[in-house]
Every structure is written in structure tokens, then in C-alpha cells.
Amino acid sequence: MQNKRFDKVQFKKEVKDNVKVLYRKTIDEATPQQVFQAVAYAVKDVIIDNWLNTQETFKKEDPKTVYYMSMEFLMGRALGNNLINLTAYQEVKEALDEMGFDLNVIEDQEPDAALGNGGLGRLAACFLDSLATLGYSAYGCGIRYRYGMFKQEIRDGYQIEVPDNWLKNGNPFELRRPEYAKEVKFGGYVKVEHDPATGRNNFIQEGYQSVMAIPYDMPIVGYGNGVVNTLRIWDAEAIDTFQLDSFDKGDYKKAVEQENLAKNIVEVLYPNDNHYAGKELRLKQQYFFISASIQAAVAKYKKAHSDIHKLYEKVTFQMNDTHPTVAVAELMRILMDEEGLTWEEAWEVTTKTCAYTNHTIMAEALEKWPIELFSRLLPRIYQIIEEINRRFLIEINEKYPGNQEKVKKMAIIYDGQIKMAHMAIVGGYSVNGVARLHTEILEKQELKDFYEMMPEKFNNKTNGITQRRFLLHGNPLLADWVTAHIGKEWITDLSQIKKLELYADDKKAQAEFMNIKYQNKVRLAKYILEHNNIEIDPRSIFDVQVKRLHEYKRQLMNILHVMYLYNKIKEHPDMEFYPRTFIFGAKAAAGYKRAKLTIKLINSVADVINNDASIEGKLKVVFIEDYRVSNAEWIFAAADVSEQISTASKEASGTGNMKFMLNGAPTLGTMDGANVEIVEEVGEENAFIFGLSADEVINFEKNGGYDPNYYFNTDQEIRQVLMSLINGTFSNDTEMFRDIYDSLLNTNSSDRADTYFILADFKSYAQAQEKVEAAYRDEEKWARMAMLNVARSGKFTSDRTIQQYVDDIWHLDRVKVK
């Protein structure tokens, strides 16, 4: 171990001192929250030494740095993860034990840093963990939202959104860095001045409003290697009035406006997953953190390098979806207007520095900004985008002379809108999808024209997850068991976990493995009893679907199937049925009506089923409130079945699927996203695959959809399930779930019926579920299957993903810290 170790005696003293200094209390008087703060500051002390040391090493060795630009970082809690990566978890646990505290309880005091919606934000967090662990120089760049993802409460079965005041007790791990503040300008107009000395036009923004972006740095600790990288999230503050230029001095109205601008910009995370709302404030957020981050990156580069033309040799900007893609134009602006480069020089640098990750093909998620809004808010940036577009159209015309169809499909500005994905593709050197199938769909369908014009830019990087959080921290029983069998190399080299295959047929190993799963189910059952007041049987099959609530993810199909099983058990009370607990966890975007109604439906079905004594507890349905990273860790550890049932072609990758696999839950899923690669690794016989293929879905869509009424009319079981949505079975108000019923059958709507092919896939889903039950009944078969899922999960570590980004896109230098 090269990093400074925890001295238990010293650590205990420090915790006591911290309680005294922070709260003027003795350790016995401190509340659990105060003990958490005291422990966190003691841990931060150690981290700071490593942090300084890492930055010192980076300064000396001058490695290339990736700036991972993302509107979202779904970090979860920091304390436990930092202790794990400092390899100090056990010692600190013991030290606290000796002081009479339980580390689990202390960890529980920390609010999740929920600066993200779901998969995209969690991916960013896993990437930071892997970058630090592999020893690469990296910054995460984002926004310090005052309010992160809302807390979800369930009242009377409905989702209620409660503000997430995550900073109310202070954030012990963050560091405010006002010395690196940057000014960000909005609005006004652009004045052009000809400079006779250089013969160039200078572009000067005037009449603007501005805010100060103040960085807060959070340490990202690598596993056992002394590396500490930085997540830099920006807060907004008003410019001090006395800093306004002389013309504005004493301009009270402007001062107030700037105060409000600053306050509003970082106020709250938009709670939409895979959905674009087109709000002006959202564009302000995007430009705010991108401008500040790029200014900071350029300033840092210039401290050590004199030639800005070679920026790309030391810096790369990875844009996590289209949200940060204004980076392309902002970098152009800085290079031309502030660094004095010509257009051609700036374009060369920009197109060697920026790279773009596509996360979805869902039409409603594509960002398009109206010219009117964009040019008013960002006049200089708009000018630059117009020029990028003008030059690109010339290129299109050179390659496809007179082809208006190509212009229409590929232009960056068209029909009064700016298409951010197109700008990212044109202005960057790499475009990647996030799973093999997803990248193929991009190349063959969604981005076909771009792929044909610039195939060299396109590549795939299948997503991954960090095993440090989702096994080592989240499932300590299984982690210890794995280490006991194959050693601890898997912690930093997950391919090693393949060695577990040797034990898949070993009866003793199977029994131990299943016992660990059982312990984890007991732990989750206790959590559910405490938080939901529902008693569940840890001997039942835990069948779990946790992810954002979205129609394409088809939680509706899952609950319809539960209703179908309920009907069967009621009609055939003596039929063989292995007890099953269906566990859901999902937040719906606050404005997404049908998603929220689906939550209500799940809870209404749960109410009826859980309270129907006649089914003798064979079926239980639980909706876990406030699904988030911290409770996710426990949920994955306890799952028997991983529900990954999206409409094929709609889920770009998924990462929840990988967390389940790593924790020994076989996938029940469609051939979508990374499920395809999971099945390829684990073997078809160790997963439960069903449903239409992506090609089949896409073909139906090209030909105007399909007719769900065929299934309704010809299948009496399906009809019975759908009728129970509107006949009072699950609500006294028979109109309660009418919208869901209509959405499936399109009785009076202009949308296509059953857009997500639920009825088309229903029977094949039900059959796959029967296979799950049969497999679970055979204990040895199940243990083997579950263990093989763990053993063959090696590909899905984010360490592998990051190494591929480094090899193919970023070309970073690996650094060793002493």
C-alpha cells in the first residue's frame, strides 16, 4: 500500500477532535449525523494528502487529461466508497466499533449525491471511479445543483416529489475553489470591430448579463493506488455589483437581474430521463457549465504549454450525450475570440479535441433548440454555429451535389432549429454508441447518412459498471466469498472472476452461494419492512425491476403479467406455484402523466394482491420508495431475477442489467441494448430471453405499427387482464386506469396503439416467466446458473469500458503515483 494508511488510534482521536471543533460536543453527546460529519472530515484528511500528491505527480509527468462533460453525475454516497477505495473500510469499521458506533448506521446519515436521473448519470460516476483506479488524469465537469433528483414519497399509491435539499447539513467532501472562478455571459449582442493592425474582425459581446461560476471540487479516489482525481461541479454566484463596468455602476435593476440569473441557473436538476423539454433555463445550465469548464481547461493547459494549437495533445473533451455539445462552439469561440486563432486553426483544434457519446435513439430525447431562443441567449455562439453549418453544407454539396434530401437530413440548422447531435458529430472526432446493438442501429438507421459520410468517426463502447461499488461495497458477503475462492485480483481486474466457473458445479460452493443470496434477501426484506411496512418472505423468488419509469422500459408489461398470474392463482387455487415477490423501484419524471399513473397501478395491484388472504401469500408486490444509488446497492445484492424487458431497440445499453448479473441474478429480458452481449457472455441457457427482436420492432415501425387488438380479440387471458384495468378490480374508480387501457388499444387516441409492443410480447414474456419458475425449483440448476452469471460478468466492468475509450478515443497516458 502506497497511500497513507489509517492509524486506528490516530483516527479515533481525530473523530473526537472533529466533533469537538465542529459542534462543541463530546463524542457521547454527538448525534449520528454529527458523527458522520466528524468521520467524513477525518477521511477527507487522508484523501487530501493523496489528492495533493496526485496533482503534484500530474504536474511533473504532464499526462493527457480527459474532461468528462456531463449534465449529470449520479454519485450516490461518498463515505463508504471512499473508504473502500482507500482500502481502509475494515479498519475504520473496527475503529468505530471500538468507539461504540456502527459504520452502516454512520453511512446511512449521508444523503445521496443525486445529481443525475438514472443510467446516464450513473455511468458518468462509474467512469470517474474507473479512470482514477486505472491511473488516468481526468476531470468530471458538471453542475452543483442545489437540489438534485427529487425524493420520491408514495402517498395513497401516488408518487409525490419532495425537494432534495442534499446540501442542508453541508457536504464534507467538497472543496470550494473561488480562485478558479470564471465569468459566463448571456444575452446582449455582438459588436464587430475591424482591427487594422491584424486585418481581422474582432467580435465583442456587449449588453450582456453574466454570472460567476464558482467551482466545487470533490475527490475521486482510485482503488488502492493513491490516485485522487477531481469531480468539478460549478455553482453560480452573482457578479459583485462593484465589478460591473463603469457604465453599469449603480445599475440596480441589472444587479438584481444578475442575482436572479445566478440563483436560478443551478437551482435544480431537470428530472427528465430520455426526454427533452426545450426549456430556456436548461440551455442556460448547459452553456453555464460548459463555458466555465472549457475556460478552466484552457487556462490550465496554458499554464504549462505555450502553443494553443496543440491543445488536443494534452486535452480531450468527452461529451456525455448532446447536453454538453455547445462545447464545440464554445471552444471555437475561445480559440478565435480570446486566443486569436483563425477559423481554420480553431476548427482543426476543436475537431481533434471534442468527442461525442450518443445515448439514445428515442425521438423525444433529441435536443433541438429554436433559433430564436438560442440566438437571443447565446448570440456569439449562434454566429459560430451558423458558420459551422454553412461550411458543412458546402461539404455535403461537394460530396452529394444537388442532393436536397441529404441537406434536409444532415444540416445542423434546419426548419428554424439547431440540431445538437448533428453539431456534435460534425465538430468532433469520435461518435460512439453505448452497446454493440445500439451502435449498429445508429450506423444503419438513425445516423446512417453521417456514418456513410464519415465512417471513421463511428465506434462502439459498450457500457460498464464499477465492481468496487456494486459488489465490494454493496454486497460484502458475496465479495468476501469471491475473494476467498479466487483471491482479490477481481477488484481491479474483473476478468479474473471467470475463475469462479470452477465452482459452478461444486455442491458446497453452491450451498454457500445460495446462503449468501438468502442473507442478502433477509437484509432487503428488513429494509422493506422498515420503509414500506410490507412483510415479504425471503424464501420466495425476488423478481426485481428497478430503473427509471418509462413506457419503453415496460414496467406496465411486468405489472400486467402480475395481474395475469393473480387471475391464474385465483382460478386454479391448487396449481403449483412457487411463491414470488415482485419488487419495483422507479421514479417518474414529474410531468410524465402516464408514467405516474403506472406507479399508481403498481401500488393498486399491490394493495389488492398483498391483502388477498385467499392466495396464501403466494404473490407479493412491493414498490420500493425513492429508488436511488444507496438502496440500489442492497437491491441488486438480494435479487434472484433481473427484469430487463424494454421494447427491443429502445434501451441503448442499460447498466442495471450488469449490476444484477454481477450479483448473481440471471436476466429475464429482450434482445435489447447490452442484454445481447450479456447473453453472449453467459450463454443462452443461463438467461431467459423472449420477445420481438430489434429488427422486427423497427420493421413494424417502418410499416406503421401493428394491431394490438388482434391479441385482445383472440386471447381471452390477455383480454381478462386488460378488462381488469377498467372494471373495478384494482380501483373503485373504474376510470382510474382508462388512459393505460386506451394506450394499449387506442380506442380514442391519435397515438398509435401500444407503441411499445406490450401485447405483442406478452405471451412470450409469460412463457419465459414459466421457465424462470421451473429453473428456480431445481435448486442446483439455479445455483449454477446464478454463479455462472457472476463468473461471466467480467466484460461488464467500467474498467474495460474506460480502457477502450483510452485506446480508441482518448489516448491518455497512465500515471503511477508514489
Angstrom distances, CA of residue 512 to CA of 193, 478, 484, 517: 76, 9, 12, 9
Among residue numbers 48 through 107, which ones bind ligand PLP (CB under 6 A)?
none
Report if residue 629 touches ligand PLP, rule: CB under 6 A. Answer: yes
Q: Is 12 a known active-site residue? A: no
**Nearest Cα residue to 365 out of 259, 490, 268, 275:** 275
DSSP 374-437: HHHH-HHHHHHHHHHHHHHHHHHHHHSTT-HHHHHHH-SEETTEEEHHHHHHHHSS-EEESSHH
Of 553, 587, 792, 795, the active-site residue reads 553
CA distance 594 to 606: 18
User: Minimum CB separation from ligand PLP for residue 795, in Å?
Assistant: 16
Which is closer to ligand PLP, CB of 258 or CB of 462?
462
Which is closer to ligand PLP, CB of 521 or CB of 628?
628
Of 151, 547, 580, 784, the active-site residue reads 547
Torsion, Cα 557 562 563 569, to 10 degrees, reads: 150
Q: Is 548 a known active-site residue? A: yes
Report if residue 122 touches ligand PLP, rule: CB under 6 A. Answer: yes
- SS3 at position 520: helix
**Nearest Cα residue to 694 out of 686, 704, 685, 702:** 702
Among residue numbers 641 through 700, which ones bind ligand PLP (CB under 6 A)?
654-656, 659
Q: Per CB under 6 A, which region of 81-89, 115-123, 485-493, 591-599 contacts ligand PLP?
A: 115-123
Residue with cell 431497440: 649
Report if residue 708 touches ligand PLP, rule: CB under 6 A. Answer: no
Name the pairing type of β-strands 182-186 and 209-221.
antiparallel
What the block records as the C-alpha cell of 651 is 434501451
What the block records as the C-alpha cell of 180 is 478558479
**Nearest Cα residue to 239 out of 195, 209, 269:** 209
Q: How far apart are the first and last CA of the chain?
A: 10
Q: Is 24 a known active-site residue? A: no
How many residues belong to the site for ligand PLP (CB under 6 A)? Answer: 12
Q: Per CB under 6 A, which region of 13-21, 46-54, 627-635, 720-728 contacts ligand PLP?
A: 627-635
User: Minimum CB separation from ligand PLP for residue 597, in Å?
Assistant: 20
User: Minimum CB separation from ligand PLP for residue 147, in Å?
Assistant: 17
Which is closer to ligand PLP, CB of 335 or CB of 465?
465
Q: Is 309 a known active-site residue? A: no
Report if residue 628 touches ligand PLP, rule: CB under 6 A. Answer: yes
Which is closer to ligand PLP, CB of 157 or CB of 654?
654
User: Minimum CB separation from ligand PLP for residue 475, in Å?
Assistant: 14
Which is closer to ligand PLP, CB of 498 or CB of 594?
594
Q: Is 553 a known active-site residue? A: yes
Residue with cell 474532461: 67
Angstrom distances, CA of residue 717 to CA of 160, 424, 568, 796: 33, 48, 9, 38
Name the pairing type of β-strands 417-419 and 368-370.
antiparallel
Please pick, from the candidates 111, 118, 157, 226, the single residue that binds ligand PLP as defined by CB under 6 A: 118
User: Minimum CB separation from ligand PLP for residue 551, in Å?
Assistant: 13
Report if residue 284 touches ligand PLP, rule: CB under 6 A. Answer: no
Among residue numbers 737 through 776, which ones bind ligand PLP (CB under 6 A)?
none
Residue with cell 483471491: 487
- Position closest to ligand PLP via CB: 656
**Nearest Cα residue to 644 out of 634, 659, 629:** 659
Q: Per CB under 6 A, which region of 442-450, 562-570, 628-636, 725-733 contacts ligand PLP?
A: 628-636
Which is closer to ligand PLP, CB of 548 or CB of 554?
548
User: Minimum CB separation from ligand PLP for residue 653, in Å?
Assistant: 7
User: Minimum CB separation from ligand PLP for residue 806, in Å?
Assistant: 23
Of 122, 438, 650, 659, the active-site residue reads 659
User: Minimum CB separation from ligand PLP for residue 152, in Å?
Assistant: 12
User: Minimum CB separation from ligand PLP for residue 356, in Å?
Assistant: 20
DSSP 581-613: EEEEE----TT-HHHHHHHHHHHHHHHHHHT-G
In whole angstroms, what separates CA 47 from the centre of its chain? 25
- Bridge partners (DSSP) of residue 689 are 669
CA distance 637 to 524: 9
* Residue 458 and residue 439 in contact, taking contact as beta carbons nearer than 8 Å: yes
CA distance 448 to 471: 39
CA distance 290 to 282: 12
Report if residue 596 touches ligand PLP, rule: CB under 6 A. Answer: no
User: Minimum CB separation from ligand PLP for residue 490, in Å?
Assistant: 20
CA distance 587 to 626: 7
- SS3 at position 556: helix
Which is closer to ligand PLP, CB of 147 or CB of 513?
147
Please pick, from the candidates 80, 111, 119, 794, the single residue that binds ligand PLP as defined by CB under 6 A: 119
CA distance 633 to 659: 9
Report if residue 547 touches ligand PLP, rule: CB under 6 A. Answer: yes
User: Minimum CB separation from ligand PLP for residue 84, in Å?
Assistant: 16
Name the pairing type of β-strands 228-238 and 137-143.
parallel
Of 232, 406, 548, 561, the active-site residue reads 548
CA distance 804 to 775: 36
What the block records as the C-alpha cell of 790 is 457472476
What's 644-671 look like in SS3?
ECCCCCCCCCCCHHHHHHHCCCCEEECC
Which is closer to ligand PLP, CB of 219 or CB of 585?
585
Which is closer to ligand PLP, CB of 16 or CB of 469?
469
Residue with cell 431475477: 641
- SS3 at position 252: helix
Which is closer to ligand PLP, CB of 171 or CB of 545?
545
Which is closer to ligand PLP, CB of 284 or CB of 548?
548
User: Minimum CB separation from ligand PLP for residue 465, in Å?
Assistant: 7
Q: Per CB under 6 A, which region of 19-27, 58-66, 448-456, 625-633 contacts ligand PLP?
A: 625-633
CA distance 69 to 49: 26
Q: How many CB atoms lie within 10 A of CB 546?
A: 22
Q: How many CB atoms lie within 10 A of CB 276?
A: 20
Q: Per CB under 6 A, which region of 164-172, 252-260, 624-632, 692-700 contacts ligand PLP?
A: 624-632
Which is closer to ligand PLP, CB of 226 or CB of 656?
656
Please pick, from the candidates 632, 668, 687, 759, the single residue that binds ligand PLP as defined by CB under 6 A: 632
What residues contact residue 345 under an 8 Å CB cut-off, 6+ apart? 309, 335
Q: DSSP assignment, residue 92?
A: H
Q: Is 618 a known active-site residue? A: no
User: Minimum CB separation from ligand PLP for residue 118, in Å?
Assistant: 4
**Nearest Cα residue to 35 out of 91, 100, 89:** 100
Which is closer to ligand PLP, CB of 162 or CB of 723?
162
Of 357, 439, 655, 667, the active-site residue reads 655
Of 16, 122, 314, 359, the active-site residue reads 359
- Residues in touch with ligand PLP (CB under 6 A): 118-119, 122, 547-548, 628-629, 632, 654-656, 659
Catalytic sites, residue numbers:
359, 547-548, 553, 655, 659
